[in-house]
Every structure is written in structure tokens, then in C-alpha cells.
Structure 1
Amino acid sequence: MIVYFCYGWTGWLFFTWLPTFFMHGRGLDLKNSALFSAGVFLSGVLGNTAGGVLSDRILKRTGNVVAARRNVIIGAFLGALVFLAPVLFVKSLPVMAASMSLSFFFLEMTIGPIWAVPMDITPKHVGIASGLVNAGSAVAGIFSPIVFGFVVDHTGNWTLPFAGSVGLLAIGMVMTFFMRPDIALDKSADSDDETRHGLKLADRLGH
């Protein structure tokens, strides 16, 4: 949930503020703002697909669910952070647009593997687990656009809100190391149930 919150914070900034950012933050007209925004979002579509394909291929070749899920997410967060950081100080619009496109590409690479994690951890309760994960992004979606607007209103700086995104991407990358898609909670629960059943049976036989 925390990792997906960190994804959602930056993702919702792009989804809600990007066209306005190009219009008012970089002085573009409506048409050019739409074109630049479309380019960034298209890169996200490609990244979304690439993340899922990469995760599946790693899992198929290695059988290592940690490498296929956790490592892909960590690499994607790192790429998103590295390419988002220049937005804070570059002045060239083409460079900024390219940087944001690459950042969004890597950010969206997290989608496939992170949604596979609930299925890896608890396949018997994947609906509940997925709902909890999605709640992390939903909470970010509530506050992230508000904070962006608040910062711009009070500072007049359209790039400053992305500093918070850089920080949260770093936090998300660190928190991903604590994800254990190789440990299925359902198996642990089944094992505990079997142990309790065995103890009860032994107790009855003892009496």
C-alpha cells in the first residue's frame, strides 16, 4: 500500500495537472499543451506494457518471483526518480518534456508487477489484497492534486511540487525492498490451520 501510494502521488500529478502545467507553467497554448501532454501519456502507455512484459519474462526465465516483481519495481522507481529530477531545474521545454516522458515511462512500468504481487502473496484473498493496494493510490489521488495546487498558489513555482514526488519515489523505492512476493500468506495460514487441527486431534486421542 505504501509503495503504491508513492506511485500514485506522482501519477496523479501527471493525470490531473500536466496539461495545466504546460499551459500556465510553460506558457503554451491549448493545442501545444495537449500535444506535449499526449506525448508524455503515450510514453506511460508504453511503460505500462513494458513493465508487465519484462516482469513475465524474468519470471519465466528465472522462476524468481522476487526478481520479476520487486526488482522490476525498484528499477522502475529509480528510473522515474532520475528522469523526474531534471524537471526541477531545466529551462528548455523540449528537454523538460523528454525528461517527463521518460519519467512517466518508468513510473508506469511499476503497474504490472505491483498488481501481480497481491496474487503472489495471497491468491485466495486477491480481491481484498488488491483493494487494499489500490487504496494506497486512491488516498494519494485525493491529496496529491490538492497539494500541487496549494504549492503553486503560494509560491508561484510550477516545478516545486515535483520535489515532493522525487522524495516519495525515493521512499517508495526503499519500501519496495520490504515486499516479499515469494512468501505466500495463504500457505502460512493453511499451515497454521493444519497445526491447530493436528494438536486438537492429538489432544482428543490423548483423552
Structure 2
Amino acid sequence: MADRVGSAEPQEASPHPSSADETTREMAAECAPHGAPATKIRYQVVGWLTTAAALAYLCRNSIGIAESQIREDLGLTLTQSGHVMAAFFWSYAFLQVPTGAFSHKYGTRVALPIFAIAWSITTLATGLAPGLWLLIAAQLFMGVAQAGIFPASTNTINYWMPMSQRSIGCGVLAAGMQVGAIAASILMGVLLGVIGWRWSFALISPLGIVWAIDFYHRFRNRPEQAPTVNAAERELIVADRPRQQILAAAADDAGPTDWWAVLTHPGLWLIHGQQICRAAGYMFFASWFPTFLQETRGVSIAQSGYMQSVVLLGALLGGLAGGVLTDWIWRRTGNLWLSRSGVGAAALGGCAILILCSWFAQDATVAIGLLTVGVFFAQLAGPAMFAAVIDISGSRVAQILGAVNMTGNLAVAVCPIMVGFLFERTANWNLVLIVFAVIYLFGAICWALVDPRFGIFNKGEEQEEAPNSIRGAQVATAKE
């Protein structure tokens, strides 16, 4: 079929290259005699990944919208409800690295459809749960099913997008997360009042299966495996990569991951720190925020779902803007620190200030407006995080991103329990807002100290910056 990323071949190629340098030379040589514009299959790939992210977030966030109805129907306490929402993130966190390794070994084409089918089944199981423990079990298995989505997707963006477009690719992926979260807020807010929470989960459960079938049929793991990708696009994808990234990918792809290098890389620890702060902060808006609105502003379930969707719209736009901003700064300056760490520090610092401002707002509309802009700023840092991990990880993006997500989601797993416990003891939602403002401020400090110029596997050698960024921009202009 002409619209496939890759047609069926006699034998599927390995998801890993034998030599990054050799691959780069072959692509350049193949492109040389041809003047055809580059194909744009890489954008189709990002579209598939974004759709998967949207469907995953639709399924995972729906329980936050339905929380009060589930709690009333099953007779749960606020603390028990917090444990239900946290269950997803415990398994989601601890399975990040194993599922990232699975994706690295078998390729995204195999891994993502398996994950999508599994989370569809567990979405249905959530709606069938008769009580607390089976509801927790369903959420635990949901976490297992979704753990590998973003390690696999980020690794795919690394293979399919040129360095000058990595952040926008990650920004679109992050926007897909927010599309799913917004869809959950609006769709579940309506469905809950019409058919109840059980049938609502049943209705959305098959969507991931449909996506999985189409994705497996048409996607290929790497550009060189896809016949519909021409030589110009293949050369464009690798043209602006620093030599150190190419050499690191070739050197560390053949053997096992050097976990000692991973554990002793100071910049990676700081990336873990900012991820803990960003993930915990986002979790409040994805889980307890509708209940916060219902109990502090006296709004209905449907109204709280709508208001949550407005805030999450800010997150969607922030992810897109962060991708554009990060890539623009890198193309203009060739400065990895400014385009990654500078963006992240300014974004999280701005978010902290806006959350503190919302504390003083008595009017619901003003408070929602401030929080929406605050979440916009928080999500500006998302594409910078993805890009920084790709920059420093060589060919081990799936495993390293999985490890970063693991620490972030350990904080996320604690967050719903912490919020429920804190409110039950103090009955003060304003205190909750102050806590999250401080969390975002700490994340900004972590970002300011990250230096993405030094890769994990580069043995302390600083990556080249401006020359290749300029060359990549020239290639993109010439080929597109």
C-alpha cells in the first residue's frame, strides 16, 4: 500500500543499527545523486505516537474524573480513593525500565501494540471492579500496560527526527497526552451523568486495540527499514547530529547498558529531580483537581470536568510551545544548556509564581486562569526534558527515559495519597497549592544545574553544538 510507512518485507530488519557511522555514510552517499525533496514520513510517525499518547491518557485520567462517583458507589474513604489513584503509578513507575528494555530489544513496532491492547483490557477491568481491592488491582495492571509507552515513543523520535526537530516532536507527543487528558475531562464528565462510571469505562476500552492493529500493520522501527522514506529524508534525519552522539550510539548499542556510567552521571540525577517535581505537580491537576474544585468552589461533577479541561488545555498548548521554543533556541544559538536547561528553569519558576498567585484569588474564574497559565509554563519544560535525555543517552534512550520516568512516577504514586492525607488532616486546600508551588520551585533549581552538553557515554567529552545545528537547518531548508 502506498500510504504505509513501510510495506511488508520478506524479513523484518533488526531495530538496532550495526554501526551508526556506517549508516550515516551510506545515507549521505545514497542521497548525493538525487535532488528529490525529502519525504515527510517522520511526521506520520510522530502522529501515530501522539495518538497512542492521547488514548493512553484518556484511559488513565478517566478515573480521576469518576473518582467521586466511584467513591460514593463503592463506599470508599478519601484515603482509600487516593490509594486507588496511586496504584496505577506504583506499577507504572517500577515497570518503566523493564518495559523500556523490552522496547529497545524488540522494537517499537512490536512493543507499543502489545502495550495498547493490554491497557484497553485493563480499562474494561476497571469498570467491572466490584470493590476496593479489585479496583486497585485493575489500576496496577493499567500501570504495567502503560509503563513502556513513552520510553518507546521517545526512542522512536530519536531514530526518526533530526536533532533540530526533536523537541517539537516531543512537544507534539506531550500535546497528545493533554488531548487525552482533556478528552477524559469532557467525555467522562458527560458520560458519567448519562450511563454511569462502569459503562463509561467499557465504552472507551476498545480504542487502543483499534490503534494497535493499524500501527503494527503500517509502522517500521527505523527510517532505513521503511521503503516509503526516500534517501533525502534519511540524510536529513542524521545530518545535524553531533559526532559524539553518533559515536556514542555506535559504541554502546552493541553491548549491555553501562549502568555505572548512568548512575554516576551528575546531570542525569538533576534531570531525575526535575522530573519528580514536574510529575508530582501534574498529578494534582490530573487526579484531585476536579474534587478540589467541587469542594472549594461548589461546582458539579460536569462543571469540574470542564474546568479541569481548561487547565489541561493550558498543558497541551504549553507542550507544543515548549517544543517550538526549545528547537528555535537551539537552531538560533546552538546552545544545548540554554535550549534545554534554560527553558526548563524559567518554565518551572514561572509556574511556581503563578500557583502562588492563584492562592490569593477568591474568584473561581481568576483562579482557573492563573492555574491554566501556570500549567502552561510547567509543560513548557516537557519537550526540553525529552530532548535533554535524548542528547545524553546515546542509543539507550528507552532505558534512560524509562529510569527518569520511574523516579517521576514514584513521586506521582505518593502524590494522591499525600494530598488525601494532607486535606483530611488540615481541611485546607490552600495549603495543598503552596506545597505544589514549592515543588515546582525546586524543579526549577534542578533544571538550572543540568548541563546536557556532556553525554552519559561520552567519557566526559563535551558535545559539539553550533556547527551541526546550523548545518542541520541548511539541510532541512534544502531538502524540504
* TM-score in terms of structure 1 length: 0.88
1:45-124 superposed matches below 5 A: 45-124=316-395
**Which residue of structure 1 lines up, in the alignment, with residue 279 of structure 2?**
8
Report the residue type matching 1:66 in the other structure: W
Alpha-carbon distance in structure 2 between the residues aligned to 1:77 and 1:174:
9
Would the aligned equivalents of 1:78 and 1:170 in 2 still touch at CA under 8 Å?
A: yes
Alpha-carbon distance in structure 2 between the residues aligned to 1:147 and 1:89:
23
Alpha-carbon distance in structure 2 between the residues aligned to 1:29 and 1:57:
42
Unpaired runs of at least 5, structure 2: 1-271, 462-480
Pair 1:179-2:450 in alignment? yes
Report the residue type matching 2:293 in the other structure: F
Alpha-carbon distance in structure 2 between the residues aligned to 1:62 and 1:43:
27
Higher RCO (C-alpha 8 Å, min separation 6): 1
**Would you say how many aligned residue pairs link Structure 1 and Structure 2?**
191
**Which residue of structure 1 lines up, in the alignment, with residue 81 of structure 2?**
none
Pair 1:21-2:292 in alignment? yes
Give the Å deviation of 1:41: 0.7
Report the residue type matching 1:175 in the other structure: C
Unpaired runs of at least 5, structure 1: 191-207
Which structure shows the higher helix fraction?
A: 1
Pair 1:144-2:425 in alignment? no
Report the residue type matching 1:131 in the other structure: G
Q: Give RMSD over aligned pairs.
A: 1.6
Alpha-carbon distance in structure 1 between the residues aligned to 2:296 and 2:407:
29
Would the aligned equivalents of 1:87 and 1:159 in 2 still touch at CA under 8 Å?
A: no
Alpha-carbon distance in structure 2 between the residues aligned to 1:21 and 1:36:
11
Alpha-carbon distance in structure 2 between the residues aligned to 1:189 and 1:3:
22
**Which residue of structure 1 lines up, in the alignment, with residue 425 of structure 2?**
154
Alpha-carbon distance in structure 2 between the residues aligned to 1:98 and 1:164:
19
Report the residue type matching 1:89 in the other structure: F
Would the aligned equivalents of 2:347 and 2:381 in 1 still touch at CA under 8 Å?
A: yes
Alpha-carbon distance in structure 1 between the residues aligned to 2:339 and 2:329:
5
Report the residue type matching 2:398 in the other structure: G
Report the residue type matching 2:301 in the other structure: L
Would the aligned equivalents of 1:8 and 1:136 in 2 still touch at CA under 8 Å?
A: no
CA displacement 1:139-163 (0-9 Å, x = unmatched): 1110111111111111111221121
**Which residue of structure 2 lines up, in the alignment, with residue 204 of structure 1?**
none
**Which residue of structure 1 lines up, in the alignment, with residue 401 of structure 2?**
130
CA displacement 1:113-158 (0-9 Å, x = unmatched): 1011111112232222111111122111101111111111111112
Would the aligned equivalents of 2:454 and 2:460 in 1 still touch at CA under 8 Å?
A: no
Give the Å deviation of 1:86: 1.8
Give the Å deviation of 1:88: 2.2
Structure 1 residue matching 2:449: 3-state secondary structure = coil
**Which residue of structure 2 lines up, in the alignment, with residue 197 of structure 1?**
none
Runs of 4+ in 1 over 3 A off after TM superposition: none
Alpha-carbon distance in structure 1 between the residues aligned to 2:323 and 2:407:
20
Give the Å deviation of 1:189: 7.3
Alpha-carbon distance in structure 2 between the residues aligned to 1:95 and 1:145:
25
CA displacement 1:48-103 (0-9 Å, x = unmatched): 11111100111111111111100000111011111111222321111110011011
**Which residue of structure 1 lines up, in the alignment, with residue 308 of structure 2?**
37
* TM-score in terms of structure 2 length: 0.39
Give the Å deviation of 1:105: 0.6
Would the aligned equivalents of 1:124 and 1:186 in 2 still touch at CA under 8 Å?
A: no
Would the aligned equivalents of 2:280 and 2:409 in 1 still touch at CA under 8 Å?
A: no
Alpha-carbon distance in structure 1 between the residues aligned to 2:278 and 2:354:
15
Would the aligned equivalents of 2:359 and 2:430 in 1 still touch at CA under 8 Å?
A: yes
Alpha-carbon distance in structure 2 between the residues aligned to 1:97 and 1:5:
24
Report the residue type matching 2:428 in the other structure: N
Report the residue type matching 1:40 in the other structure: V
2:436 to 160, 165, 174: 165
Report the residue type matching 1:134 in the other structure: N
CA displacement 1:1-45 (0-9 Å, x = unmatched): 111001111110111011111111211112221221111111110
Structure 1 residue matching 2:396: 3-state secondary structure = helix
- More divergent stretch after superposition (71-80 vs 123-132): 123-132
Would the aligned equivalents of 1:12 and 1:140 in 2 still touch at CA under 8 Å?
A: no
**Which residue of structure 1 lines up, in the alignment, with residue 183 of structure 2?**
none
Report the residue type matching 1:109 in the other structure: L
Alpha-carbon distance in structure 2 between the residues aligned to 1:62 and 1:151:
45
Would the aligned equivalents of 1:44 and 1:101 in 2 still touch at CA under 8 Å?
A: yes
Report the residue type matching 2:421 in the other structure: F
